[in-house]
Structure 1
């Protein structure tokens, strides 16, 4: 049975459609009101002009005829005033024009009109006219009123000129509102993408499906299945590595003791037994490194026991611990701290420094120098381990932290896991790890930069 607090998935498509329809309806009503107001004003002016024109025509129709029976009257509009409707009329009797407006042609618009009244379209002097004809009941005369089509287009152009700016404004406003609404509606997509993008190899937790839109649920479900399978595979690999390393430690320790006992019982085979002990020691170091990595891999930064680690006692301990090996190899080892402490897990910081110092002593020839310096760099704490040994080429530096990678041509043995352990611990602490040249531009330098 589904839990009572389970949120029912909602449809991203429906919400987006509803938002756009609602915004479009509101803005459409607003634009309709604006357009209606503008059209009412414009058409009112047109009808007013038509009434004015009609008055002029009635006045012309009641005036006396001159000797020729023709009176061309001028419009009383003057100056900048323009008659926008611009209707012309003729009074036709006996097939000739007895009275007309000034801009009407001298010949009748229509000479063969059969009906008592009606509209017709015709061409007069290469201009297209719309004409209305009406006859008196006795058919003694007829009135023909015409208007050029281009005058009608002028009115439409004026109306369009008055409307284009408000319409464009409403379209832009609609675009902005829809943009904002779609941004709000699609916000779950961005949140889900951010949650997926924040995933790391250490964070394989399920993406929360609660509150997700219905369209995203299949994607989130498929991603969670992949994360679950990946987490199970990683956990199985880590368990196998940890179990194998743990199980190998006891037989290796026993084997080491047996070889040591045989070496005492058969001194004539001391050299062979010593080489065997060295190989067993190398295998034991590899097992210890694998066990360390198996413990570090599942950890998260929040699980670290971070505290202020005082560096001088730690450096003194390291100096004493590696003094004999450095002296045996003819290498000068120097450790100095110019800062009091760094924030780290004490045990892990010791593992990092032991790995770095051990590598430097192992691969540097006699007469080399190894320096470990803790100080400030750009206002942040830095620990650097540098030597003036043979160094590592640029291409190999980029692969130093790969597991089981060893630089070609090295005579000294190693597991190829020490710098992988250093990198993992640096990641857990949020510490920057970088490789570069060592002392005096030679050898290898490893720097650990703490965040500010």
Structure 2
């Protein structure tokens, strides 16, 4: 089974990945902040004890030969209680009092916070040293082991960071549920699109979210165009089957007659065969024109063009043919009539109408091509001259499909196709209009 990317999985991966990175950074900075604040807390404790001792009277301090006894574990009442050591000197450097396990520091150390290594093993201690105010009669040093301070800092940092580690899975689970819930409309729309069948009418339940409107509109447009194309294909197949049945049957009949016909009947049969072949060619040409109209509407973009100039060019192409058939062909159009649409389809429809007039009207007929502006329209009008012979018209070669082509082109441009008449001039014609601009 081929693995396919999933928008939901990708979105969850990026969201959870970003969450882990940001959350880890917060936990790390929280850990560092916890350590820093624990160090600050220890230094503040040292300074507080020093200030408390300096506030006592000088006679309150006596030397304790067994100073380590004051740090008995039984005196510890809190987890964060430090095992502090205290040294008090007089102005001459004599030790007035001393408690705790710390080795005796040098009297000449600078005042303030500092880290010193004491004893034979050079164990690091955090120390705060200060003179009393005024006469500088006493000097107090308060010490705490660096190991104990770091242990306290680590413990506080862990207490700060641990809730973040516990909350990370909870927040991740909430994000997963939120993403799945947020993508539910997209999943539902995907299921609807997946369940569509060929030729089925589109019935999508559009989500109310603004982001889906463009996508749903595109899906509906694509589905409608596909359904229309499928219907046109079926109609075209039916037209081919229906319209070609008669000329092909006639061709087959005359071919069979040729096999047994006497020599004097050959010319008439050959003439009928030629007419049937021309009729079949005309039918195929019109059917292909219908197919081209459908394909152009689906595959090409509409463009702006000068309709009046197009009409004049098409009419000029039929000048020689009209002259040979003893017809008069004229154009009545303004200089410019701009239209947005398919110029190739309108040219095909106009040629169809002109060829229809040249083939179906007697010699001497005036064929006028009229271009209207308000509204935009095209009309091909036939005006019979007095004395024209009706029987002189050319024989109809098509089966009416030409008008279906024109009607299709007119419908693409939002126009109708109808027959017109002008009794006072004995004129008849066909009109496409009003032609409307096709949107982009």
Q: TM-score, normalised by structure 2?
A: 0.40
Tell me which structure has the larger Cα radius of gyration: 2
Q: Give the TM-score, by structure 1 length.
A: 0.39
